[in-house]
Structure 1
Amino acid sequence: MSAAEAARFAVRIGVRSYEMDVNGHVNHAVYHQYAEHARMEHVREAGLSQAALGEHGLTIVLLSTTVHFRAELRAGELVEVDSELEFTGRKPFTMRHRIVRVTDGDGSPAEDLAAEAECTLGVLDVASRRLVADPHARLTAAASDPALLGPGPA
C-alpha cells in the first residue's frame, strides 16, 4: 500500500429525515457537517484526539471550506464520506472529501457522487495562537497512527 492510499479514510453516514430542507433533500449546510464528521474521525483514527493534540500544545483549526454539490441526497439513503490529506511546504494544509451515495432510500445499491468538499486547515500552537510551520511533522509526532496522515510535503 502506498503512503497516499494509507492516507485515505472513509466513514458511512445514514441520511436522517431531520436533515431535509423544504425541497425534500439534504440541506446544504448538512454536507459541511458530513465533511466535518469525516474530518474529525480521520484525525481521531490517526490518534489525534483533542486530548492527544493538547498534550503537544496543538489544535487543528478550519480556515475555509467549500462544497460543490453534484446530486441531491434524501432521507434513508446511506453515504460514504472519504477524506484525503495533502500537505505542502506552507502552514495551511488541505483535506478533500467526496460524499458518495452508496444506497438509495429503499436500500438498493447506488454509487453517485453527491458532493465534493475541500477544506483548508492549519495546526495552531495553543500558547502562541499562531499556525505552526511544518504541520505534517507536528501532527505525525503527536499521532499514534501517522500513516493515516499520508506523506508530507513533496
Structure 2
Amino acid sequence: MTEFSVPITVRGYETDSQGHLNQSVYLQYAEHARWCYLEHAGIRQADLLAKGVGPVVLETTVRYRRELRAGEEVAVSCRFVWGDGKTFGVEQTVVKADGTLAAEVTGVGGFLDLTARRLVEDAREPMRALAADPAALGL
C-alpha cells in the first residue's frame, strides 16, 4: 500500500468569516494525515525521537480547488514519493464525500539528524528502520 487516507469532519471553529475552511487549516489536515500514515506503518513520534531524527517540511504548496464548509466530511490522503537522496516528496489530496477534489497539497520533506542538525543522507533509512510495515510507506 502506498497511499493512505484519514476521514475528517470540518469543524465550525475552523472556518473563516465567509464560512469557508480557513486556509491554514488545510495544512493542519495534511499534517494530521501524515502522522496517521506513519502510525499506520508502525512509527510513532517517540520512535523517531528515540532514533535521534525528526521529520521536517522543506516546502509546501496548497492548491485550493473547492470550498469546504462546517460539517462537511472529507478524506485526506497521503503518499510519500521516495528518491535516493536526503529528501522525499509528499502528495496529498482533500476530497469531499461526494468525490469532489477540494485541495491538493504537495511538498518536500526530509529527516533531520537531531544531534548533527543536518538532514540524514538517505531519507528512506529512518523509515525502513522503524516501520513495522515499510511496504505501507511505499518502501
Report TM bin, short chain. over 0.9
Q: Tell me the secondary structure at the aligned position of residue 99 of structure 2.
A: strand
Pick aligned residue for 2:118 from 130, 144, 147: 130
Q: Give the structure 2 partner of residue 15 of structure 1.
A: 10
**Aligned-pair identity (%):** 45
- Distance, in Å, in 2 between the alignment partners of 1:74 and 1:52 is 36
- Distance, in Å, in 2 between the alignment partners of 1:20 and 1:101 is 16
Query: Which runs of 5 or more residues in structure 1 are unaligned?
Result: 1-5, 103-109
Count of residue correspondences: 139
Q: Give the structure 1 partner of residue 99 of structure 2.
A: 111
- Distance, in Å, in 2 between the alignment partners of 1:63 and 1:20 is 26
**Does the CA contact (< 8 Å) of 1:136 and 1:149 recur in 2?**
no
Shift in Å at residue 63 of structure 1?
1.2
- Distance, in Å, in 2 between the alignment partners of 1:60 and 1:46 is 15
- Distance, in Å, in 1 between the alignment partners of 2:81 and 2:11 is 31
Shift in Å at residue 55 of structure 1?
2.3
**Does the CA contact (< 8 Å) of 1:123 and 1:135 recur in 2?**
yes
- Distance, in Å, in 2 between the alignment partners of 1:55 and 1:21 is 39
Query: Which runs of 5 or more residues in structure 2 are unaligned?
Result: none
Which one is further off, 46-55 or 9-18?
Answer: 46-55
- Kindly name which structure, 1 or 2, has the bigger radius of gyration based on alpha carbons: 1
Shift in Å at residue 62 of structure 1?
1.2
Provide the alpha-carbon RMSD of the alignment: 1.1
Q: Give the structure 2 partner of residue 81 of structure 1.
A: 76
Shift in Å at residue 90 of structure 1?
2.2
Q: Deviations over 1:31-60 (max 9, x none)?
A: 111111101111122122111112222111
| Correspondence 1:146 to 2:119 | no
Q: Deviations over 1:64-96 (max 9, x none)?
A: 211000000011110000111101122111111
**Does the CA contact (< 8 Å) of 1:100 and 1:112 recur in 2?**
yes
Pick aligned residue for 2:20 from 21, 25, 28: 25
TM-score by length of 1: 0.86
Which one is further off, 134-143 or 23-32?
Answer: 134-143
Shift in Å at residue 138 of structure 1?
2.5
Equivalent AA in structure 2 for residue 8 of structure 1: E
